Amino acid sequence: MRMYDIIAKKRDGGTLTEAEIDFAIRGYVAGEIPDYQMSALLMAIYLRGMTDAETAVLTDVMARSGDMVDLSSIPGVKVDKHSTGGVGDKTTLVIVPIVAACGLSVAKMSGRGLGHTGGTIDKMEAVPGTRTTLTQQEFFAQVNRIGLAVIGQSGQIAVADKKLYALRDVTATVGCIPLIASSIMSKKLAAGSDAILLDVTMGTGAFMQNLEDAIELARLMVSIGTAHGRKVAALITDMDKPLGHNIGNAMEVAESMAVLQGRGPADLTEVCLQLAANMLVLGGKGSLTACRAMAERALSDGTAFAKCCQMFEAQGGDISVLQDPDRFPRAKYCYDLVVREGAGYITANDVEKIGNASVLLGAGRLKKEDPIDFAAGIELHKKLGDAVKPGDVLCTFYASDPALFAAAEEMYRSGLVISDRRPAEPPLVYARVTADGVERF
Ligand code: URA
């Protein structure tokens, strides 16, 4: 078999066989196929697409390119969740404790920030002392003892995805539904949970920019997971506005703790409750209505917050900052961005640009090896659709160096439109996709 022929077949719109996909991926991981040939194949896939059967094979080969975690030593149903990425998306820190407080086990591997989007592991490390690398023994023992653990993804999970993602990132081939579906599902299948809830984000801060694409991505991932014997469902959630008000690692932890203590922003709380209720349904805890009530109770009676503190404590974190977020180290400088235009409504507020502005302030990485400033970030006072007038404060920037404010402001304002047109309020959740079909809200 020759990689040249596989590339040419996909370039001409052909359907690759299992043997061809296996040859290409294994050869690439083994270093026998060079980046330039894999780049050509990725671009051919980007332009020609893949059938569902090809995507399922690709996912399987990628999942098996590294360790397949066996969670059978943890009794009961193990549930996982995955978000396709967002800005101010701190739902994992809320949902995982809710679900564990309701009696399901969560043995979760999470990622770091990528581009303009944040990552749970960076947020967790904003809590001083928190260990996000545990041995497999420690990981399993913690879940068996307290019902939850969230750690960084081991380098040995879906090794092919790691290599392919880095290549896609520099060859303009990230935004392709079969490639995204196989990338995400290979990691989720390898991570071993029985049930997986997917949060497919849609909007200016997400990979998916319209509902039909988001539903197609969700449908594909649900069908791949179901074919592998996992219970999988997806919610399509809005990312035309960041969730909550805070962007930046310590600030996002503080906001998640507010939700867990029943005093968080309404949008973030609602999305977390819907995601948690759906995870509980997948874990066999009952109907959606019963699971929603269970999730609400775990928030109102404090058991979810207590679970969260238990998890951080077990992983070495200083939980005094969870109980009193004023104890987080503060950014040295802050800067208010005020409305310079006339009175009107925020008609556009590009979420990718908001995320990029937070990266420029130090809350994310411009290069893989960059350190993160946990205290840096943005507090949003006005969001898409809000009425504003000259002099109103749109948001406050936080950074350790005031020289960072100018570029972040330029980035933020480049995605901002204020006009007399009030945009329609986007729903928080657009649709639910399960193995049985699509329910649109
Ligand atoms: N997240 C992933 O893990 N992979 C993708 O391809 C896109 C988002």
Task: Assess whether the C-beta atom of 357 lies below 6 angstroms from ligand 1.
Answer: no
Atom of ligand 1 at shortest range from CA of 184: 3
Whose alpha carbon is nearest atom 5 of ligand 1?
A: 180
CA distance 295 to 272: 9
Burial class of residue 58, CB neighbours in 10 A (0-12, 13-18, 19+)? buried
pLDDT on residue 367: 73
pLDDT on residue 10: 98
What are the tokens at 209?
Answer: 């920019």
Kindly give the distance from the C-alpha atom of residue 415 to the centroid of ligand 1, in angstroms, as a whole number.
Answer: 24
pLDDT on residue 118: 79
Across 146-156, b (16+ Cβ under 10 Å) vs e yields ebbbbbbbbee
Which residues share a beta bridge with 117? 114
Kindly give the distance from the C-alpha atom of residue 109 to the centroid of ligand 1, in angstroms, as a whole number.
Answer: 14
Q: Quick one: CA torsion of 354, 355, 359, 362, rounded to 10 degrees? A: 70
Mutate to test the pocket of ligand 1, among 121, 183, 187, 224 (most ligand atoms within 8 A of CB): 183
Q: What is the DSSP letter of 327?
A: G
N- to C-terminal Cα separation, the chain: 48
- Strand 231-238 with 429-434, pairing: antiparallel
pLDDT on residue 154: 79
pLDDT on residue 115: 75
3-49 and 329-419 share one fold: no
pLDDT on residue 258: 97
Scan for tokens 């449908």, then name that residue.
219
pLDDT on residue 58: 97
Task: Assess whether the C-beta atom of 85 lies below 6 angstroms from ligand 1.
Answer: yes
Task: Assess whether the C-beta atom of 377 lies below 6 angstroms from ligand 1.
Answer: no
Active-site residues, by number, are 82, 161, 168, 183, 187
pLDDT on residue 415: 97
**Counting runs of H as helices and runs of E as strands, what totals does the chain give?**
17, 14
pLDDT on residue 78: 94
- Strand 393-399 with 429-434, pairing: unpaired
Q: What pTM did the predictor assign?
A: 0.94
- Domain ranges, ordered by start, for the chain: 3-49, 79-324+428-440, 329-419
Whether 108 contacts 81, CB under 8 Å: yes
H or E, element range at 256: helix 249-260
Distances (CA, A) of 408 to 351, 368, 378, 395: 13, 19, 10, 12
CA distance 56 to 230: 14
Whether 3 contacts 37, CB under 8 Å: yes
Distances (CA, A) of 266 to 71, 263, 428: 35, 9, 11
Task: Assess whether the C-beta atom of 58 lies below 6 angstroms from ligand 1.
Answer: no
pLDDT on residue 308: 98
117 three-class SS: strand
Whether 170 contacts 53, CB under 8 Å: no
Burial class of residue 31, CB neighbours in 10 A (0-12, 13-18, 19+)? exposed
| Helix 266-282 / helix 288-300 crossing angle, nearest 10 deg | 130
* H helix intervals, 126-236: 136-146, 159-170, 177-191, 211-227
Task: Assess whether the C-beta atom of 180 lies below 6 angstroms from ligand 1.
Answer: yes
Task: Assess whether the C-beta atom of 40 lies below 6 angstroms from ligand 1.
Answer: no
Domain 3-49 grouped into CATH 2.60.40.10: no
Kindly give the distance from the C-alpha atom of residue 230 to the centroid of ligand 1, in angstroms, as a whole number.
Answer: 19
pLDDT on residue 256: 97
CA distance 424 to 219: 26
CA distance 132 to 109: 9
Task: Assess whether the C-beta atom of 173 lies below 6 angstroms from ligand 1.
Answer: no
Kindly give the distance from the C-alpha atom of residue 394 to the centroid of ligand 1, in angstroms, as a whole number.
Answer: 31
Kindly give the distance from the C-alpha atom of residue 260 to the centroid of ligand 1, in angstroms, as a whole number.
Answer: 28
Q: Which CATH number fits domain 329-419: 3.90.440.10, 3.10.450.50, 2.160.10.10, 3.90.1170.30?
A: 3.90.1170.30
Whether 415 contacts 353, CB under 8 Å: yes
Query: Tens-of-pLDDT digits for all 441 residues of the chain?
Result: 999 999 999 999 999 999 999 999 999 999 999 999 999 999 999 999 999 999 999 999 999 999 999 999 999 999 999 999 888 889 999 999 999 999 999 999 988 877 788 789 999 999 999 999 999 999 999 999 999 999 998 779 999 999 998 899 888 898 899 999 999 999 999 999 999 999 999 999 898 999 999 999 999 999 999 999 999 999 999 999 999 999 999 999 999 999 999 999 999 999 999 999 999 999 999 999 999 999 999 999 999 999 999 999 999 999 999 999 999 989 999 999 999 999 999 999 999 999 999 999 999 987 777 889 999 999 999 999 999 999 999 999 999 999 999 999 999 999 999 999 999 998 999 999 999 999 999
Distances (CA, A) of 234 to 120, 297, 438: 19, 23, 9
Please give the CATH architecture assigned to the domain spanning 79-324+428-440: 3-Layer(aba) Sandwich (3.40)
Whose alpha carbon is nearest atom 1 of ligand 1?
A: 84
